Amino acid sequence: MLGYQLFAVRVIFLGSLMSDSLIWNIMDTVLTFVAIPNLIGVLILAYRKPEWFNI
């Protein structure tokens, strides 16, 4: 737990020193890495269970 708290303090401190545009660019990159596995999972699910996607 202490390691997580130290990490959070460091991230908050470094985030306060960064510009807004840099933080948004970093978040855009991170969210891309999060979205790719989710999209792959949705495609696999749509292939295996197409009836779940009927509207």
- Would you state the pLDDT for residue 52? 87
pLDDT at residue 55 in the model? 73
Residue 49's φ and ψ, nearest 5 degrees, are: -130, 70
7 Cβ contact list (under 8 Å, min separation 6) = none
pLDDT of residue 39: 96
- CA 40 from chain centre, in angstroms, equals 15
The average pLDDT across 16-32 equals 94
Q: Is the pLDDT of residue 27 over 90?
A: yes
Question: Rounded to a whole number, what is the distance in angstroms from the first to the last CA of the chain?
Answer: 45
Task: Label residue 19 by pLDDT band (50, 70, 90).
Answer: very high
**Residue 45, CA atoms < 13 Å, CB-side half-sphere:** 9
Q: What local confidence, expressed as pLDDT, does residue 21 receive?
A: 95
pLDDT digits (tens, 9 = 90+) for 29-45: 999 999 999 999 999 99
Q: Where are the domains of the chain?
A: 18-55
Phi (first) and psi of residue 54, to 5 degrees: -75, 130
